[in-house]
Amino acid sequence: MALTDVGVRNAKPKDKLYRLFDERGMYLEISAAGGKWWRLKYRFGGKEKRLSLGVYPDVGLKEARDRRDAARKLLANGVDPSIERKVQKAATVERSANSFEAVAREWFARQSPGWATTHADKIMGRLEKDVFPWLGGRAIAEIKAPDVLAVLRRVEARGALDTAHRVHQNCGQVFRYAVATGRAERDVSADLRGALPAARHTHFASVTEPREVAGLLRAFDGFQGTFVVQCALRLAPLFFVRPGELRTAEWAQFDLEKAQWRYTVSKTKTEHLVPLATQAVAILRELEALTGQRKYVFPGRDVKKPMSGAAINAALRRMGFDTKTEITGHGFRAMARTILHEQLRFPSEVIEHQLAHKVSDALGTAYNRTRFIDDRVVMMQKWADYLDKLKTGTDVLRIATIS
């Protein structure tokens, strides 16, 4: 007699396992502990076999019968349903291993050890926010150019055109890695060149007029926030390094007696030397009394970690500066580059070396941390003196080009 929903629901456990039979080889197996499993008994190749059809009540009577019928269709076509299930499971595992997200995370794991932490975080953040929710679970070999374009259009639609271009670039890197590892035939994102409008690149907001710089420096001295952040603000224009390099500066990198700061440039992975003006050393001496026993010069709320990447810009906004149109943490580099050349008349190559930019010389050397070092020591002190005079309102004379 065929089973009913009521009969299945009311079936109680007994002292030992027992079975309630339905039709066409299906039965319900009930354990002494009360568990209920759907099974199908069938013969294949002259042998009696059994196939699990699911667990009750997750799989109801109707669904169990549908699964039974599907298995019997396979049998009618000469296919063993238990073998077919193993094949499908293996295919699912392979598909999961070759999904866009799996390949992307594998690519990221291989590449990211050579990147700056902030750069790596941005890339994975873009993938997790803008790509994985729509493409992550799909087999990378099955993804087509229109699928990727839909992802890019979604980013573009929220007004983040530059991010859309970066997502396009990152997807291309993942696809090329998939091609190299035999999991995709080609980089389909290459078909989307020109599909997005060109991004308008703007420079970081910066102050380059001496009068405006003077007001900025005076605001730093009057900053009402923490002493650590105030010191970072006062040192930012003196060092004009990248914001991430400033906030992650470590005391072990400084030699205050020699007035030097040596660290590895985050962008180029080259060693860099920052000569310290006497004003910079004085600020560091003050700060050393507070954080000198810590790893980081500018520790965050968790003193084992550096100051937040948003701290400088947050402090600038707190003082009333617009970080989109007036000044940003990265803007001190443009400030120094402009004024050192136009007002203080220092040669471009000396400034560019102090900015840790790649500057090829006649011998083809891309960057040399000690090149122009004597000139750079002079320049950094002249720069600090110039900023002091701006801040106090003293007339600032143009300094002749160094010989």
Q: Which positions are catalytic?
A: 242, 267, 330, 333, 357, 367
- The pLDDT score that the predictor gives to residue 266 is 77
Average per-residue pLDDT in the chain? Answer: 88
Same domain, 10 and 67: yes
Q: Is the separation of the CB atoms in 82 and 47 below 8 Å?
A: no
pLDDT at 363: 42
CA distance 308 to 299: 8
Q: Which of 59-63, 128-132, 202-206, 335-339 has the lowest mean pLDDT?
A: 202-206
Burial class for 130, CB neighbours closer than 10 Å (0-12, 13-18, 19+): buried
d(CA 373, CA 271): 14
Q: Which helix (H) or strand (E) holds 261?
A: strand 260-264
Residue 344 pLDDT > 90, yes or no? yes
In 45-153, beta strands by DSSP E: 47-56
pLDDT given for residue 203 in this prediction: 60
Structural domain includes residue 78: yes
pLDDT of residue 399: 43
Distance CA 152, CA 116 (A): 25
pLDDT in tens, 147-190: 999 999 999 998 888 889 999 999 999 999 999 999 899 999 99
Q: Which of 230, 329, 220, 216 is nearest to 287 (CA)?
A: 230
Query: In this model, does residue 114 exceed pLDDT 80?
Result: no
The pLDDT of residue 159 is 84
Considering only residues 365 and 99, tell me which one the structure prediction assigns the higher pLDDT. 99
The sign of the CA dihedral 15, 20, 26, 28 is: negative
pLDDT at 239 over 80: yes
Could you give the CA distance from residue 194 to residue 371 in angstroms, rounded to a whole number? 41
Q: What is the mean pLDDT of residues 16-33?
A: 93
What percent of the chain is modeled with pLDDT above 90?
A: 62
Q: Among residues 388, 226, 248, which one has the least CA distance to residue 314?
A: 226
Query: Given this model, what pLDDT does residue 204 score?
Result: 67
Mean pLDDT of 45-73: 92
Alpha-carbon span 258 to 244, nearest angstrom: 24
The values of phi and psi at residue 254, to 5°, are: -100, 140
Mean local confidence (pLDDT), 236-240? 95
Highest average pLDDT, of 34-48, 93-107, 200-214, comes from 34-48
Q: Which string of b and e fits 39-56 if b means at least 16 CB within 10 Å?
A: bbebebeeeeeebebeeb
Kindly report the CATH number assigned to the domain that includes residue 188: 1.10.150.130
Domain containing residue 214: 210-392
- Is 181 inside any structural domain? yes
Q: Are residues 324 and 386 in the same domain?
A: yes
**Can you list the pairs that 69-77 forms with residues at least 24 positions away whose Cβ atoms lie under 8 Å?**
69/24, 71/40, 71/42, 72/24, 72/25, 72/42, 75/42, 75/44
pLDDT greater than 60 at residue 398 = no
We report the CATH number of the domain holding residue 59 as 3.30.160.390
- The confidence band for 200, taking pLDDT boundaries of 50, 70 and 90, is low
* CB count in 10 Å sphere of residue 171: 25
> According to the model, what pLDDT value does residue 270 have?
84
Residue 207 — pLDDT band, cuts 50, 70, 90? confident
Name the domain boundary from 32, 63, 89.
89
- Tell me if 292 is assigned to some domain: yes
Question: Do the domain assignments include residue 270?
Answer: yes
Do residues 239 and 387 both lie within one domain? yes
277 and 328 assigned to the same domain: yes
200 occurs within a structural domain: no
My answer on whether 62 and 145 are in the same domain is no
Distance, CA of 69 to CA of 160 (rounded, Å): 51
pLDDT of residue 395: 53
Q: Classify residue 402: in a domain, yes or no.
A: no
Same domain, 375 and 354: yes
Query: What is the structure's pLDDT at 397?
Result: 44
- Of 164, 192, 220, the residue that ends a domain is 192
Which residue's entry shows tokens 């873009």?
126
128 and 234 part of one domain: no
Query: Does residue 45 register a pLDDT over 80?
Result: yes
- Angstrom distance (rounded) from CA 270 to CA 357: 10
Taking the CA of residue 180 as centre, how many other CA atoms within 13 Å lie in the half-sphere pointing to its CB? Answer: 10
pLDDT in tens, 362-388: 444 455 556 789 999 999 999 999 999
Q: Are residues 245 and 337 in the same domain?
A: yes
Task: Say if residues 187 and 175 touch (Cβ distance below 8 Å).
Answer: yes
224 and 343 belong to one structural domain: yes
Whether 112 and 85 share a structural domain: no
As beta bridge partners, residue 188 has none
Residue 124 pLDDT greater than 90, yes or no: yes
pLDDT for 345 equals: 92
Closest CA to 30 of 63, 1, 7, 62: 7
- Dihedral, CA atoms, 350, 316, 233, 222, nearest 10 degrees? 130
Please list the alpha-helical segments (H only) found in 32-160: 61-76, 81-97, 100-111, 117-126, 132-135, 145-157
- Mean pLDDT for the stretch of residues 20-36: 93
Q: Give the pLDDT confidence of 250-297 residue by residue, as tens digits.
A: 999 999 999 999 998 877 778 999 999 999 999 999 999 999 999 999
Mean pLDDT of 198-213: 74
Is the pTM higher than 0.75?
A: no
**Two structure tokens written together for 28:** 């319900």
Neighbours of 361 (CB within 10 A): 12
Does residue 144 sit in the same domain as residue 270? no
Contact 249, 263 (CB under 8 A): yes
Point out the domain boundary residue: 55, 89, 123: 89
Q: Are 75 and 42 in contact (CB under 8 A)?
A: yes
- In the chain, how many domains are there? 3
In the prediction, which pLDDT does 6 show? 93
CA gap 329, 312 in Å, rounded: 6
Provide the 8-state DSSP code for 400: P
pLDDT, greater one: 188 or 198: 188
Instruction: Please report whether residue 242 resides in a domain.
Output: yes
Flag whether pLDDT at 403 surpasses 70. Answer: no
Residue 204 lies in a domain: no
One domain for residues 247 and 368? yes
